[in-house]
Amino acid sequence: MERRSFLKKAGVGVAAGALAAPAIAQGGPEVKWRLQSSFPKSLDTIFGGAETVSKRVAAITGGKFQIQVFAAGEIVPGLQAMEAVQNGTVQACHTAPYYFYGKDPTFAFGCAIPFGMNARQQNAWMYHGGGLQLYRDFVKTYNIISFPAGNTGAQMGGWFRKEVKTVADMKGLKMRIGGFAGVVLSKLGLVPQQIAGGDIYPSLEKGTIDAAEWVGPHDDEKLGFYKVAKYYYYPGWWEGGPELDCFVNLKAWAELPKEYQAAFEAACHEANVDMLAKYDALNPPALRRLVAAGVQLRPFPQAILEASYKAAEEVYEETSAKNENFKKIFTEWKKFRDEQIRWFGVTEARFDSFMAQAIRGPAPAAKK
């Protein structure tokens, strides 16, 4: 009797559980999107940001909302991903917004500008400092809505075929670098070159360029730059906390059910956190391997950093004077950045500095 009663109650529980399944997985429509990445599949971490979004959206919606991810070049080249979203060729893309600096330098605020914020500060600006709304107001004119969906953390300064010790050493150097950083460095006499990721290695190998920047140890090791350029400089002051974004076509976004919109936004949040965590885990061992392979790790000399900072300030003033879109965001961005830098200087910077010294141990005593 007790057994029959138990089975009856269990059956009712199962039925209730079935009825309690999320409505999003039961009654939602089937939606299929195409998402164009600006990156090749070989760069697993940065390309993986789009895959994280796709997998999480499918999981939340019970497979009803499917996003197929395409690597750079599979539908359009990586540097044309934004246009593909704008004109509706694809519903979404995953990209570094500063790639579209040439259309309007204001795009760079969705990624990074020289001497900007680190990853945490960038998130603070976007999520709680008013940055995301300002940026969305801008990209809306391109028929796009934007979502933060990744960050590499502070990048490296790049690979050089010879040492740079003074500002004068920068003059005439041909370097694979673009956007604001290229404009800033051109003030120091460097000659910026726009070269796609897959063409950097042969350009360095042949001496067509003298230097190149990409991301950091994990990705740079995969691309083999250490085989053709010996000196690895840091920091990449033009990318202190570069954000990756998902751009979505406004019409496609408006047609999504509200539950699917929430799923997509949550997935982008996850990609934003996960990518940074993965890079932070993978870069240290990759850097150890590079140094063991003979790479010469070098900090940019103070004089080069100071000259670059001064040049960046000049570029921002010049750009603000002729571009209202840029000026509107830059004014608020700069106030937020400066406040963040002061705050981090009180806690984070001092803590990090002490810990770096602590694990190195005391300096060796001078010989008598």
Q: What is the pLDDT along the chain (368 residues), one digit of tens a residue?
A: 444 454 444 444 444 444 344 555 567 899 999 999 999 999 999 999 999 999 999 999 999 999 999 999 999 999 999 999 999 999 999 999 999 999 999 999 999 999 999 999 999 999 999 999 999 999 999 999 999 999 999 999 999 999 999 999 999 999 999 889 999 999 999 999 988 777 899 999 999 999 999 999 999 999 999 999 999 999 999 999 999 999 999 999 999 999 999 999 999 999 999 999 999 999 999 999 999 999 999 999 999 999 999 999 999 999 999 999 999 999 999 999 999 999 999 999 999 999 999 998 876 665 55
Rg value, the chain, Cα: 24
Tokens for 104, please give them.
């309007």
User: CB-side exposure of 248: number of CA atoms within 13 Å?
Assistant: 22
What pLDDT sits at residue 366?
Answer: 54
Q: 172 exposed, middle or buried (CB, 10 Å; 0-12, 13-18, 19+)?
A: exposed
Contact call for residues 75 and 61 (beta carbons, < 8 A): no
What pLDDT was estimated at residue 16? 40
Structure token pair of residue 185: 């460095």
Is 116 contained in some domain?
A: yes
Residue 302 falls inside a structural domain:
no
The residues near 274 (Cβ < 8 Å, ≥ 6 apart) are 49, 52
Instruction: Identify the pLDDT of residue 196.
Output: 75
Binning the chain into helix, strand and coil, the percentages to the nearest 5 are 55, 15, 30
* 267-300 core/surface letters (b: 16 or more CB in 10 A; e: else): bbbbbbebbbebbeebbeebbeebeeeebeebeb
Q: Which DSSP category does 132 fall into?
A: H
Is 278 within 8 Å of 217 (Cβ atoms)? no
Which domain does 119 fall in, by range? 28-153+241-281
Residue 24 is predicted with a pLDDT of 58
Q: What is the pLDDT of residue 361?
A: 83
Predicted local confidence at residue 119, as pLDDT: 98
Q: Tell me, what's the pLDDT at 247?
A: 99
If one counts the domains in the chain, the total is 1
**∠ CA 98-106-175 to the nearest 5 degrees?**
40
Q: Is residue 246 part of a domain?
A: yes
Is position 107 within any domain?
yes
Within a domain: 288 = no
User: What CATH number did the domain enclosing 142 receive?
Assistant: 3.40.190.170
SS3 253: helix
Q: For residue 198, is it within any domain?
A: no
Closest CA to 157 of 60, 238, 247: 238
Residue 287 lies in a domain: no
d(CA 146, CA 110) in angstroms, rounded, equals: 8
Instruction: Kindly list the strands in the beta sheet with 144-151, ordered across the sheet, starting from the edge strand earlier in the chain.
Output: 65-70, 31-37, 92-95, 243-249, 144-151
